[in-house]
Amino acid sequence: MNDLVATIIAKYNYWIYITLMMAGLYAMIAKNNLVKKIVGMNIFQTAIILFYVSIGVKKGATIPILEHAHGHGHDAHQAVHATDYINPLPHVLMLTAIVVGVATLGVALALAIRIYNTYHTLEEDEILAQIREE
Amino acid sequence: MIWQIDLAILTLVVITAGGALMVKDLLGAAILFGAYSFMMCALWSIMGAVDVAFTEASVGAGVSAVFFVAAVFRTTRRTKD
Amino acid sequence: MKIIGFIISIATGSLLIYAAADFPAWSDPASPASTYLSPHFIEKTIEETSVPNIVTAVLADYRGFDTMFETTVIFSAGVVCYLLLRTSRRKEPETRYYRHILTGVTIELKEGYKIPPSTDFERIDSLWTPPDLIIRTVCRLLIPFIQLFALYVIAHGHHSPGGGFQGGVILGASIILFAISFDLRAAISRMSEKLVAVLCAVGVLIYACTGGLCLLFGRNFLDYGALAELLGVDAVTARSHGILIVEIGVGIAVMATMIWVYNNVSSAGKYEQGL
């Protein structure tokens, strides 16, 4: 039992990331307003990016920019140890994810403005009622 | 990585995310989303992901919040939920 | 719908929590993510590309193919916003209103008479907003410095955090600041719609043409070592220069997309009144 409690406390980061993801998912499904759904989509995306970036952290390592690398010739390299720098691969993938996220946000907001121009409301139940009446 | 700072900023992140989803004013939701984005950027800086934090600060807290405010300005500001 | 949403999130959440119990401990140096491929990138980047920022080197050189398609995705998002929202231009009205700038007197001219463009009169209509001196002066002073910082971020992406995306977004944000503080019409008269759209495509084209140029020299697509004869340096420095050219292309495309999407979203397609 103590073992289980120790494991739960050691991994508290993962529980909070999962809570954020589920908050975003719940907002996307259950909220009535379109802009709130879009906010939920963005919260979901950034929570997933947070989860990935947290995988690359290493204890006692520094940021992934090589030190003492400026101005050296080809034959004067000091040995670079991989344990001194944190894992750069999740950062690369998540840079793409963030920029694609903002592109998706632009398209989603354009769709919301078009829907508002046609139905004059942003609440989902009122839009569905107007569609059913036609 | 100091766990006290980590826990404090994570708490702020959850509070702003919950706030952005629950306020009834859409402009307030847009601004709270900008604050959430900025807290994420601080979290990633602490974890050492400086490139990702830079991108999130400029894209999320900057341009993304402006897009939201522009869209709210063009549609409606009140919501029932 | 709320109950269904609640059940779905609780079910997915508990599945994820059950799976997260198997994860390696937080910040473990021996976790599988940190021992498989990343040691090769960390140790070999400075010998093969002479770029100290490992993230920029991996993004633009080792994984350059999906950065190219990501730029294409950003371009297509700009095009989709334009296609969804842009409506046709309205006709010119018969009655025009002019305002004398120094005294504030408004003149109404009927039946299509106009005053030729001069610095004493400005054209106003029902969408005109009065200028605010503090905001205009401060933003006019700040915008050149913001753009200079953005260019620095693009150019210094090899040695410090930064690169093409971040610099491009900051450049786009400076033009958006101009559009917010002055007028959307003033911003569009400086950077017209056509210029923004063409710039967006030019950015993607720069990236793809750099890859194609490497093909013409006999190496693989996006293998920047082929540019060594063209630029006159050795293969390692040619890769560093190739990364810089590609980042410039990405920066231009991202800047143009941010401006384009802002123009369309904030005016709902009519390009008359912004925020």
CB contact under 8 Å between B62 and C173, yes or no, is yes
Which candidate, A118, B60, B76, A114, places its Cα nearest to that of C265? A114
Region of residue B28 (left: phi > 0; alpha: psi -120 to 50; beta: else):
alpha
Chains adjacent to C (≥3 CB pairs closer than 8 angstroms) = A, B
Domain extents for chain B? 3-74
Q: Is residue A65 part of a domain?
A: no
Give per-residue burial for C29-63: e unless 16+ CB within 10 Å, then b.
eebebbeeebbebbbebbebbbbbbbbbbbbbbbb
Nearest CA to CA, how far is B76 from chain A (Å)?
Answer: 8
Give me the domain span that covers residue A27.
2-60+82-133
Q: Indicate whether C274 pLDDT > 80.
A: no
CA A82 to chain centre: 26
According to the model, what pLDDT value does residue B76 have?
87
Contact C25 A91 (CB under 8 A): no
> Which pLDDT band, with edges at 50, 70 and 90, does A70 fall under?
low
Total domains in the fold of chain A: 1
Residue C108: phi and psi, rounded to 5, are -115, 125
Q: Are residues C255 and C211 in the same domain?
A: yes
Do strands C121-124 and C106-109 pair parallel, antiparallel, or not at all (unpaired)? Answer: unpaired
Is the residue at C230 inside a domain? yes
What's the pLDDT at B80? 82
Query: What percentage of chain B has pLDDT greater than the value 90?
Result: 73
What average pLDDT does the segment C186-202 reach? Answer: 91
- Would you say residue A35 has pLDDT above 80? yes
Do the beta carbons of residue A52 and residue C30 sit within 8 Å?
no
pTM higher than 0.95, yes or no?
no
Within a domain: residue C159? Answer: yes
C84 and C9 within one domain? no
What is the C-alpha R_g of chain B?
A: 14
Structure tokens at C275: 């925020």
Query: In whole angstroms, how large is the CA radius of gyration of chain C?
Result: 26
Quick check: C28 pLDDT over 50?
Answer: yes
A68 in a domain, yes or no? no
Residues C61 and C31 in one domain: no
Separation between Cα atoms, residue A125 and residue A131, nearest integer Å: 10
CA distances to A97, B51, C62 from C73, rounded to whole Å, are: 11, 20, 20
Show the domain range for C22: 1-36
Q: Is the per-residue pLDDT at C68 higher than 80?
A: yes
Query: Which structure tokens are listed for B21?
Result: 């989803």
Instruction: Give the gap in angstroms from C-alpha A2 to the nearest C-alpha of chain B.
Output: 21
Least confident window among A26-40, A59-73, C237-251: A59-73
Specify whether C141 is located in the same domain as C164.
yes
pLDDT tens per residue, chain B (81 residues)? 678 888 899 999 999 999 999 999 999 999 999 999 999 999 999 888 999 999 999 999 889 999 999 999 888 888 887
Residue A71 maps to a domain: no
Say yes or no for a CB contact (<8 Å) between A57 and B48. Answer: yes
The angle, 0 to 180 degrees and rounded to 10, between the axes of the packed helices C193-216 and C64-85 is: 160
Q: Do A98 and B59 touch (CB under 8 A)?
A: yes
d(CA C180, CA B64): 15
In a domain, A22, yes or no: yes
Chain B contacts to C (CB-CB under 8 A): 1, 50-51, 53-55, 58-59, 62-63, 66-67, 69-71, 73-74
Per-residue pLDDT for C187 more than 60? yes
Pick from A39, A85, A93, A107 the residue to mutate for testing the B interface (most B CBs within 10 Å): A39
Best B24, B37, B51 residue to mutate vs chain A (most A CBs within 10 Å): B51
**pLDDT grade for A63, boundaries at 50, 70 and 90:** confident
The nearest CA of chain A is from the CA of B44 a distance in Å of 8
Q: Does A35 touch chain C (CB under 8 A)?
A: no
Is the domain of C54 the same as that of C165? yes
From chain C, the residues in CB contact with A106 under 8 A are 77-78, 81, 257, 261, 265
Chain C residue closest in CA terms to A5? C21
Residue C190 belongs to some domain of the structure: yes
A28 touches chain B (CB under 8 A): no
What is the percentage of chain C residues whose pLDDT exceeds 70? 94
Comparison of pLDDT for C70 and C25, the residue scoring more: C70
Examine the domain organization and report whether C10 and C82 are in the same domain: no
Residue C80 to residues A122, C62, C166, C213, C261, Cα–Cα distance (Å): 21, 30, 22, 29, 9
Q: Which of A11, A14, A46, A122 to mutate to test the interface with B (most CBs of B within 10 A)?
A: A46
Among B48, B64, B81, select the one facing A63 at the smallest CB separation: B48
Position A23 scores a pLDDT of 92
Q: Enumerate helices (H) and strands (E) in chain B, giving the number of each.
A: 4, 0
Question: CB–CB of C238/C228 below 8 Å?
Answer: yes
Q: Is residue C188 part of a domain?
A: yes
The answer to whether residues C15 and C78 belong to one domain is no
Asked if A26 and C5 touch (Cβ cutoff 8 Å), the reply is yes
Question: Domain containing A52 — which CATH number?
Answer: 1.10.287.3510
Contacts C268 to A, Cβ<8 Å = 113, 117
Asked whether the beta carbons of B69 and B23 are under 8 A apart, the reply is: no
Decide if A85 and C54 are in contact by the 8 Å CB cutoff.
yes
Residue in C50, C110, C38, C71 with CA at minimum distance from that of residue C241? C50
Taking CB atoms and an 8 Å limit, are A39 and B52 in contact across chains? no
How much is the average pLDDT of C160-167?
A: 90
| Sequence-separated (6 or more) residues with CB below 8 Å from residue C249 | C71, C164, C203, C204, C205, C206, C207, C210
Which tokens belong to C158?
């090899």
pLDDT confidence band for C126 (50 / 70 / 90) = low
The count of structural domains within chain C is 2
Cβ contacts (< 8 Å) between A62 and chain B: which residues? 48
Name every chain A residue with its beta carbon within 8 A of the beta carbon of B20. 39, 43
Residue A52 lies in a domain: yes
Residues C136 and C218 occupy one common structural domain: yes
Instruction: Mention every residue, 6+ apart, whose C-beta is less than 8 A from residue C75.
Output: C200, C201, C203, C204, C253, C257
Q: What is the ipTM of this complex?
A: 0.92
Query: In this complex, which of A33, A61, A113 lies closest to B74 when CB atoms are compared?
Result: A113
- Check whether C8 has a pLDDT greater than 50: yes
- Return the minimum-mean-pLDDT range out of A88-92, C26-30, C218-222: C26-30
Contact A11 C20 (CB under 8 A): yes
pLDDT tens for residues A71-120? 555 544 567 777 788 888 889 999 999 999 999 999 999 999 999 999 99
Give the single-character DSSP code of C96: E
Q: What residues of chain C lie within 8 A of the CB of B66, using their CB? A: 173, 176, 180, 262, 275
Percent of chain A with pLDDT strictly greater than 90: 52
Same domain, C79 and C194: yes
Which chains share 3+ C-beta pairs under 8 angstroms with A? Answer: B, C
Q: Between C237 and C35, where is the model more confident?
A: C237
